[in-house]
Amino acid sequence: MDNIQSKTGKTPADFKKLAAQKGFLKKGKLAEGIKAAEIVQWLKDDFELGHGHSMALVALFKGTKKEGDK
**Long-range own/partner contacts, residues 1-9 (CB < 8 A, 24 or more apart):** 1/56, 1/60, 1/65, 1/67, 1/68, 1/69, 1/70, 2/70, 3/53, 4/49, 4/53, 4/56, 4/57, 7/47, 7/48, 7/49, 7/53, 8/47, 8/49
Provide the residue ranges of all domains of the chain, joining segments of one domain with +: 2-62
pTM attached to this predicted model? 0.87
In tens, the pLDDT along 3-34 reads 999 999 999 999 999 999 999 999 988 999 99
In tens, the pLDDT along 34-70 reads 999 999 999 999 999 999 999 999 999 998 766 665 5
